[in-house]
Amino acid sequence: MRLGRVSNLPTVWSNALAGALLAGASGSFEAGLVVLTALTLCYLGGMYLNDACDAPLDARERSDRPIPSGEVGRTPVALIGLVLLATAVLLLFTTGAASGTAGLALAAAVLLYDLRHKGVGWSPLVMGSCRLLCYLVAALALGGQLGALVWLGALGLACHVVGLTYAARQEAYDRLGALWPLGVLAVPLLLTLAAVLLLPGPTLLAGLLWLGYLAWGVRCLAWLRRRSPGDVPRAVVGLIAAISLFDAVLIAALGHPLLALLAASAWAATLQLQRLSAGT
């Protein structure tokens, strides 16, 4: 559970739901289960490989992590991570060549991030692309069309993740450098506001969810600005949970109120699960 950061999995599931709905997907229940399983395995595999790749650095900065603390070996963790990624890709190919290819791209982005994210300035862009590809994988696997709504939603999600990944890079030091790169978080905020105003869904619910997304984001940014002990990690896990609020606003704007509330519950579930298992 600690290696896989399982507390964040509800955000992956809400990504799948939002990506499919934005694409107008109409796949079967069985296909939906395949997509959820594949994205879950891909996420877990990426987290395992992240710990395996970061083991030398964690030994100096986060010695309580499972590998440096001696609870598990680096090699088996890496092998499990690779098997999980490969299984995810194979599952997605059972839903079609296009979704399988998108899954392969997702696995490649995960590997690139895990192998090169330390010491390179563009690594948050790679992490953003991982979540962007979650939308595309779900859309393609469930028979949807990659129209403008999917791409705009995926872009907003990617920008949200780029911002939180920049903050997460400083988490081990419990500090943050310049705040200006976090300006990218304005992109998903503006895109979701446009969705609330322009899409045909129930404006009241979508608007309330948007206000919740805004308020929670402001709270997380306030923690980053204050920078008291523990504030940076608290903000990072809060922004991770907010991924599901982003999804919920889009789903509500599309006219799916019950599914929007389900996505919003993924935000609450992530916050609760983070109390049991660390989200970073």
Query: Any idea where the domains of the chain sit in the sequence?
Result: 6-276
Q: Which residues of 36-51 are buried (b: 16+ CB within 10 A; e: fewer)?
A: bebbbbbbbbbbbbbb
Cα 12–Cα 65–Cα 111 angle in degrees, nearest 5: 45
Residue 167 has a pLDDT of: 72
pLDDT at 1 over 90: no
- Could you give the percent of the chain with pLDDT greater than 90? 70
Across the range 242-264, mean pLDDT stands at: 97
- Tens-place pLDDT, residues 71-100: 999 999 999 999 999 999 999 999 999 999
CA dihedral 229, 230, 233, 235 (to 10 degrees): -90
CATH superfamily placement of domain 6-276: UbiA prenyltransferase (1.10.357.140)
Residue 177 has a pLDDT of: 55
* Separation between Cα atoms, residue 237 and residue 241, nearest integer Å: 6
The interaxial angle of helices 231-254 and 203-226, nearest 10 deg, is 170
pLDDT at 228 over 60: yes
29's tokens: 């229940």
Residue 132 has a pLDDT of: 97
Contact 229, 207 (CB under 8 A): no
Across the range 137-144, mean pLDDT stands at: 95
Contact 20, 139 (CB under 8 A): yes
Residue 255 has a pLDDT of: 95
Residue 179 has a pLDDT of: 60
Q: Give the confidence band of 15 by pLDDT, cuts at 50, 70, 90.
A: very high
Q: What is the DSSP letter of 146?
A: -
- Tens-place pLDDT, residues 40-66: 999 999 999 999 998 888 888 788 889
Residue 173 has a pLDDT of: 45
Residue 170 has a pLDDT of: 59
pLDDT at 118 over 80: no
Across the range 120-132, mean pLDDT stands at: 89
Contact 244, 220 (CB under 8 A): no
